[in-house]
């Protein structure tokens, strides 16, 4: 990778981290530059759309990382309930390790910017759709009907997003454990139909 690409990647990596922990509005371009070590000129060179373009790209990349993690877990999981439980356990580990700072990598930015910034909103939609697709596929492979698989996928994402908020506020991983247990039970019930 060229040195130039290195700066671009560093800007995005640090943006994802800062947006996740501090939020989008509280993260200034100066913070991103300082954390990434990229020269000032590189910012508008790579992101002529400025902060909004960085925000959309950060949501896109972070969302895709989650999709890939889910795909990897799907390969080693014993069905959709186990997949969701494994992923929520992983999320709980990251939360604890970060002192309850690392919640969802895209939610805070999305809540701060939609519907005003369409490009960020679209990146969020694509991310959620990607996660739902992996969960839906896992449910289909377990013999769950397509209609039920799609509904459970979106509901599972809602529950995990909400549980992440509860964990950050309570400083406990109990909400994620509870969501994992409830969602696993729902998937088990759906497999028996």
143: which 2 tokens?
A: 């013999």
Q: Which is nearer to a second copy, 87 or 128 (CB)?
A: 128
Tokens 């009907």, residue?
145
- Which residues between 109 and 148 bind a second copy (CB under 8 A)? 110-112, 114-115, 121, 124-125, 128
- What is 29-65 written as a DSSP string? HHHHHHHHT--HHHHHHH-TTHHHHHHHHHHHHHHHH
CA distances from 60 to 53, 100, 144 (A): 11, 23, 29
- The yes or no reply on residue 47 touching a second copy (CB under 8 A) is no
Q: Which of 132, 23, 60 is nearest to 47 (CA)?
A: 60
Minimum gap (Å) between residue 107 Cβ and a second copy: 6
Length, in residues, of the chain: 193
CA distances from 66 to 26, 57, 78, 90, 124 (A): 24, 14, 19, 11, 12
Q: Could you give the CA distance from residue 24 to residue 182 in angstroms, rounded to a whole number? A: 32
- The yes or no reply on residue 22 touching a second copy (CB under 8 A) is yes
Torsion of CA 111, 114, 119, 122, to 10 degrees: 80
User: Which of these segments, 5-13, 43-51, 95-103, 138-146, binds a second copy (CB under 8 A)?
Assistant: 95-103
Q: Which is nearer to a second copy, 79 or 124 (CB)?
A: 124
Q: Which is nearer to a second copy, 85 or 159 (CB)?
A: 159
User: Which of these segments, 29-37, 46-54, 72-80, 150-158, binds a second copy (CB under 8 A)?
Assistant: 150-158
- The yes or no reply on residue 15 touching a second copy (CB under 8 A) is no
Minimum gap (Å) between residue 166 Cβ and a second copy: 6
Q: Which is nearer to a second copy, 42 or 160 (CB)?
A: 160
Q: Which is nearer to a second copy, 79 or 103 (CB)?
A: 103
Minimum gap (Å) between residue 55 Cβ and a second copy: 12
- The yes or no reply on residue 158 touching a second copy (CB under 8 A) is yes
User: Which of these segments, 33-41, 73-81, 105-113, 133-141, binds a second copy (CB under 8 A)?
Assistant: 105-113
């Amino acid at each position: 990778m060229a040195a130039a690409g290195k700066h671009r990647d560093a800007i995005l990596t640090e943006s994802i981290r800062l947006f996740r922990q501090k939020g989008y509005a509280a993260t200034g371009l100066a913070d991103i530059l300082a954390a990434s070590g990229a020269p000032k000129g590189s910012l508008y060179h790579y992101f002529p759309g400025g902060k909004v373009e960085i925000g959309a790209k950060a949501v896109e990349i972070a969302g895709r990382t989650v999709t890939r993690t889910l795909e990897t877990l799907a390969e080693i999981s014993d069905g959709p309930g186990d997949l969701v439980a494994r992923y929520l356990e992983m999320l709980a580990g990251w939360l604890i390790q970060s002192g309850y700072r690392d919640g969802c990598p895209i939610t805070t930015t999305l809540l701060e910017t939609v519907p005003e910034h369409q490009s960020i909103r679209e990146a969020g939609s694509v991310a959620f759709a990607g996660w739902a697709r992996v969960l839906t596929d896992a449910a289909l492979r377990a013999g769950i009907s397509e209609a039920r698989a799609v509904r459970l996928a979106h509901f599972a994402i809602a529950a995990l997003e909400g549980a992440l908020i509860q964990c950050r506020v309570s400083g406990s991983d109990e909400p994620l454990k509870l969501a994992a247990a409830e969602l696993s039970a729902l998937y088990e019930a759906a497999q028996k139909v």
